[in-house]
Amino acid sequence: MKGFIFPAMLVLVVVIHSVRPVYVQIGNFSIPLEEVKRLNAFLGLDANVNARLMRNIGAPCADPELPVEYHHICQREDAPEIFRKLLSMDARAMELCEICVNAACAGC
């Protein structure tokens, strides 16, 4: 019985660690990666949008249809910079965030 408890606890710890959501960190602000993907979908952006085109996108906070979960970003004074960085994440960066969920993960 004693030999069963340690492996069972180890498996439990690994499972709990693997189900945590992945967060994107921008300065002192963090947001779940799934919300970044939903924001891109809401704005109708492909994950591979050219960075130059990002400058032409209006402020998402000005959109009356912006989902409620993003309103807390709009209340920050650095909201334009946060939205610019969130929307300029390319598909490769998002894949890296999903694959490596540790502090060493670039961009997350």
Domain 22-99, CATH class in plain words: alpha beta
pLDDT of 81 reads 85
Cβ count within 10 A of residue 73: 20
Question: Coil, helix or strand for 102?
Answer: coil
Which H or E run contains 107? Answer: none
Overall average pLDDT of the 80-102 stretch? 70
pLDDT of 100 reads 56
Which residue ranges make up each domain of the chain? 22-99
pLDDT above 80: residue 97 = no
State how far the Cα of 27 lies from the Cα of 12, in Å rounded to an integer: 32
